[in-house]
Amino acid sequence: MNFATARLHMVESQIRPNGVRDPLILDAFASLPRELFVPENRQQLAYIDEGLLAVEAQGDEPARYLLQPMVLARLLEAVEPSREDHVLDVGGATGYSAAILSRIAAKVDALETSAALADAMKKRLSLLGASNVGVHAGALEKGVPSQKPFSLIVVNGAVAEEPKALFDQLADGGRLVAIMRRGWLGRAWLYEKSGDVVSGRPLFDASADYLPGFEPQPQFTF
C-alpha cells in the first residue's frame, strides 16, 4: 500500500470536502503518517473514513481509538489554531492528534491515563521530531492544571457532561472542543471563555467512544 497516496486521498476526499480550509490544518494532515499511530496489523486501515482502534483493551484500561480524520480536522477548523496557541490535547491515545497540533501550535501538552500510554506516546512523538509536545499521565477529566492556562483544549472523544474542570484551565479567550454524547447520539461542541464565563454552541453531528473519566454516571432509581 502506498501510504503517501492514501494520505493525500484522505485530505482531498474526506477532510477538504467537509469544509476544512485552514492551510495549517490541511498541511499537517497531509504530511503526518497516520499509519505510525496504529498497530502494525491495522496500518492498512489507517486512512479509512472512521475512528480507528489504536490501543487494545488491557485489564481495566478500555480500548482506545483515534478520532475519524474528518471529525478531528473539523474540530480543529472550528477552533482556528494558530502558531501562538498553547494547547492541551486530552486523550489522544497514541499521539496522532498531539502530533498534528505540534505542527500548528507553539506548545502542546498531551494527557493520557497511564504511564505506559504516556511513555509510548512520548517515544513516538520524539521519533517524529515533535519537540514542542510535553506528555503527561493522569486522570483525563482533571486535565493538567500545572501547565494552565491553555488557549486551546482538544478533547479526543466523547464526554457525557460538560468538562467543567477543563474549563477552569482555559485562558481568557480560550476555546475547547469536545463531542457531547447522549446514548448513541453525539455532537461536536465549541466552548469559548470570556472572563469567568464559558459559553458553548453545537457544531456538527459526530460519533466517538467515551473517553475514560468522561463516561455517563450510573443512574440510581428506587
Q: What are phi and psi of 122, to 5 degrees?
A: -60, -45
Q: Could you tell me which CATH number the domain at 3-205 has?
A: 3.40.50.150
Domain ranges within the chain, ordered by starting residue: 3-205
| 174-217 pLDDT per residue, tens | 999 999 998 888 999 999 999 999 999 999 999 899 999 999 98
**pLDDT for the residue numbered 221:** 54
> Are the C-beta atoms of residues 93 and 64 closer than 8 Å to each other?
yes
Angstrom distance (rounded) from CA 116 to CA 124? 12
Q: Tell me the sheet residues that pair with 159.
A: 180
Per-residue exposure over 124-154, b if at least 16 CB sit within 10 Å of its own CB, e if not: bbeebebebbebbbbebbebbeeebbbbbbb
The long-range contacts involving 45-48, CB below 8 angstroms and separated by at least 24 positions, are 46/3, 46/6, 47/3, 47/6, 47/7, 47/9, 47/10
Angstrom distance (rounded) from CA 130 to CA 116? 19
> Are the C-beta atoms of residues 77 and 100 closer than 8 Å to each other?
no
**pLDDT for the residue numbered 220:** 55
Q: pTM of the entire structure?
A: 0.95
> Are the C-beta atoms of residues 98 and 110 closer than 8 Å to each other?
yes
Phi/psi region, residue 180 (left: phi>0; alpha: psi -120 to 50; beta: rest), is beta
**pLDDT for the residue numbered 192:** 98
Give residue 219's pLDDT band: very low, low, confident or very high (50, 70, 90).
Answer: low
> Are the C-beta atoms of residues 166 and 193 closer than 8 Å to each other?
no
Give the list of residues 6+ apart from residue 57 with CB closer than 8 angstroms, or none. 63
Give residue 87's pLDDT band: very low, low, confident or very high (50, 70, 90).
Answer: very high
